[in-house]
Every structure is written in C-alpha cells, then in structure tokens.
Structure 1
Amino acid sequence: MTELLQEPSILTVDQILARMRELAPGFPPGDGVGVFHGMYLTVTELVAAKLTSGYFTDPAALALLDSLFAGRYLAAVDADAAGQRPPACWRPLFELRRRPGIHPLQAALSGMNTHIEHDLPLAVMDTAQRLGRDPLSFEADYRRVNELLAQVEAQVRAQLLPEPDPLRVAEPLLHVLGVWSIDRARAAAWDTVLALRGLRHAPLAYRAMVAALDDSVGVVSRALLTPLAA
C-alpha cells in the first residue's frame, strides 16, 4: 500500500502514560490544555488497564492504536512547547487555553472533539498501515472503546459543570455543550475511517481529505470555546 502519512514515532502504552504523568503537574490551574490533559490521562489509564483484562479482542493491535492515537496529541504539545504551531485542529485549544470566559468543560470537550474526530481516524489508518491490515478489522475494539470514553465523559461533565446558582454562565454553557456529544463524534470518526479507507490507493485525494479534516475539525473545536463571559 502506498505510504500516505508521515507516521509519528511509537511509544508503548506504559511510556505514553509515563510521559503524560510527567507533563500533568506543569499545567497551571485553569489552563485549558491542562484540563483536557487530565481527562485524557484518565482515559489512557482506563484503556491500559483493560488491555490485560480480556476486554479487547485484539489487545496488541489496540495497544498500537492507543499509542499512535496519543502520540498525535503529544506531538501537538511538543510543537507548542517548541514555539511552533500545532495542527490547525489543535490550534483553538492551545491559542485559547487561558482566555477568560471559557469554562473548563468547554476546554475538555474541545480537546475531545479534536482528538476524536481528527486524530482517531488517522491513528486507525496508521495502525492498519503498520500492521498490513484492513482498518475494518479494528471495528469491534473501536466500539468497545466507546463505552470507556462515554464513562469518562460523564464523569468530566459531572465534575466540571457549574452548580445551578450561576445561571448567567450555566445557561449559555449548556447551550454550547448541547450541540456536541461523544457518540456523534465517535460515529463521525468511524465514517472518516471508511472514507479514508476508500482513498488508500489515491494518495492525492487522501492527502486532500486529511487537510480538509484538519481545518473542519478545528472550526468546531473553536466554536466549542466560544467565551461565555468577558
């Protein structure tokens, strides 16, 4: 198969966890990237625990997918730390990470939108390419991860949603967050996998779609970060 992507370097799941735990204390309170990072660390720890519990049908392939998936986020972190611009899909979160008027839950879901709708389908394609397999062979375990993500998203919403008192903020926040759901994001990501799978042997069209995905996901991620107050 024609090589279509510049593949990120691979870390093991344990190395990914070690790197994320090392980075976690460096985010100041209220930092939007730090909010997403904490949530994503919880997800990664949960997936790592399930890799040895019989939860996944193909834990070796899922471990590779998880590493490639996380590697795309960590590459954005490294780019920003080096004074470089991360991919367009990640720029809203990094550019608005300390913007007043943005609720922490907005940051968490903006990061989830970027990571799921952009990074996840590309990581599935990366994994299929490295293993020489059809991306459809990962579908069953892909669906199993949905349950884990939904569990963590529910926890994050419960922890970060404001109490009923500050209605001036809560009402517009609930309006903004009501347009996004993890189920729709994961379904859209799988649809992207199917589209990219059909373009595997058309490199120009494949790259054009990847570029368009980067931009379009960034638009939604920025909309999720609409300031609610000055």
Structure 2
Amino acid sequence: MAQTEQFAVRTVHGPSELHHAAGTPVGVVVERMHALHAELPPGDGLAVFNRVYLAVTEEFARHLDGGHFPDRRAATALGVLFAGRYLAAVETAAAGGRPPACWRPLFQYRRHPGVRPLQFALAGINAHIGHDLALAVVDTCRTLDCEPACLEAGFERVGDILVLLEERIREDLMPGPDLLEIADPLTHLVGSWSLERARDGAWSAARLLWRLRDAPGLAEEFTERLDTSVGLVGRCLLTPCR
C-alpha cells in the first residue's frame, strides 16, 4: 500500500517533534481528510464518516501536542498508519479499483436513499476498527521494529479517542426520541454493534497476526477472513431502514 508506506517513512525519519502542522505526518492526514470533506456532497455516505473521523483525527493531534501519549513517536506512527488504510481504500475506490471487503459496503451503498447517516458512520467505523486497526498495529510494529506489547499503552489511548468518535456519531446523527421508536429497525441496528468489542477484537487480531508473521500463508488467510467477516457486518449495518 503506497500511501501507508510513505506515511511510515515520514513518521520514522521526520522531525523528532511531530505535531498538527502542515507537512507533519498527522498534518498530512488531516489535510487529505479536509480535501475529501470539500470534494464530497454532504449526503454522501462516505462524507458522513469522513466528517466524524476528521474531527477525531484533529482531537488525536491535540492529544499529541498536549503530551498525552507515553510514547509520542509510536502513537504518531499508529495513528498515521491507521488513517492511511482508510485513505488508501478511498483512493482505490476513486480510481475504480477494488478496496478491501470491509469497506465495499460503504462504497456500494453510499448514495442509497434508504440508508440513514448514522448507518453510514457506523459502517465506516466498523470497517476501520474491525479490520484496519489490527493491521495498523502490525504495520507499526514492523515500522518501529517492536512487539505489540510496546504499543499497548498507546493503543489504549487511541482507543479512548475512538470512543469520542462513537459519541460524536451518536450525538450528531442519532434521530431524536420522537423519531427513533422501539419498532424502528435503526434502533436494533445501533444496538447490535459495539465499539468496545470491536476494539478488543482488533487488539486480539493484531497479536495473532504478529505471531503469524513467520507463517505468511496463514497470516494472509486470517487477514482475508477478517476482512470478509467485517465486511459482512458492515453490509448488515447498511440495511435500508426507510
């Protein structure tokens, strides 16, 4: 993945003081998300996810600047490589290519009139955490030549910021109580997915993939099945509700 490799090089060999400024790794990610925000129609399902992810990426940058991560370099690498997988999927789809299976439902249904904004947001975060986060941990370990255990503290802090993503999604996109009734299918879809469980699953998957690094065939098989299963969940989350 060219974009991810470029981000990794900049993270490792860039200035020792990385911050949310143009030209830094995190700054580059934020700039690209802002560019997407400007390009996409507001009602586009991808635009819905990109808006909330942009807000959380900016919050991640503020946490970096504030010294809230025990290892700034590792946190920067993880955050940038993580975002890089999302941006690479977007660019692949825009070029007419085939993005990972976890992202395909969002790209396929992004303009469906029966899918609500909350569903688009949840489908995006499902793909990004359920699949991309585990692979980003492995990417970071390879980039920094370290074990997953060395990233655990930073992973937990990134996870705390991801909770903000879920909170923002629910605050901004959840219909009011007068619209969201118990019989509304959206009520059941929202309750069927858990960010906390997805985050725990991502950490377990990352540790397993790291163990399988000397068995590339098994690692590839596991990654493909993870991608497919996360994509299936995403498709369910995008079931038209109106």
Same fold by TM-score, threshold 0.5 exceeded?
A: yes
User: How far is the alpha carbon of 1:13 from its aligned partner?
Assistant: 0.9
Cα distance between partner residues in 2 of 1:179 and 1:32? 20
User: How far is the alpha carbon of 1:155 from its aligned partner?
Assistant: 2.1
1:200-215 matches, within 5 Å, as 200-215=213-228
Decide whether aligned partners of structure 1 residues 14 and 170 sit closer, same or farther in structure 2, where only a CA change above 3 A counts. Answer: farther
1:170-181 matches, within 5 Å, as 171-181=184-194
Contact 2:115-2:238 at 8 Å conserved across structures: yes
Unaligned runs of 5+ in 1: none
Decide whether aligned partners of structure 1 residues 126 and 178 sit closer, same or farther in structure 2, where only a CA change above 3 A counts. Answer: same
Contact 2:209-2:219 at 8 Å conserved across structures: yes
Contact 2:69-2:157 at 8 Å conserved across structures: yes
TM value normalised by structure 1: 0.93
Alignment-derived partner of residue 10 in structure 1: 6
Report how many residues are paired: 225
Cα distance between partner residues in 1 of 2:166 and 2:183? 18
Alignment-derived partner of residue 18 in structure 2: none
Cα distance between partner residues in 1 of 2:34 and 2:182? 32
Secondary structure of 2:99's counterpart equals coil
Decide whether aligned partners of structure 1 residues 209 and 7 sit closer, same or farther in structure 2, where only a CA change above 3 A counts. Answer: farther
Moved over 4 A (4+): 167-170
Decide whether aligned partners of structure 1 residues 121 and 28 sit closer, same or farther in structure 2, where only a CA change above 3 A counts. Answer: same
Which of residues 24, 35, 51 in structure 1 aligns to 2:37? 24
Alignment-derived partner of residue 53 in structure 1: 66
Contact 1:7-1:126 at 8 Å conserved across structures: no
Contact 2:36-2:47 at 8 Å conserved across structures: no
Q: Considering only aligned residues, what root-mean-square deviation do their CA atoms show, in Å?
A: 1.7
Unaligned runs of 5+ in 2: 8-24
Which of residues 121, 126, 147 in structure 1 aligns to 2:139? 126
Alignment-derived partner of residue 15 in structure 2: none
Alignment-derived partner of residue 241 in structure 2: 228
- After superposing the two structures, state which structure 1 stretch, 148-157 or 24-33, moved more: 148-157
Aligned-pair identity in percent equals 48
User: How far is the alpha carbon of 1:169 from its aligned partner?
Assistant: 9.0
Cα offsets for 1:32-87 (capped at 9, x unmatched): 10000001101111111111212101111111111111111111111111111211
Contact 1:10-1:67 at 8 Å conserved across structures: no
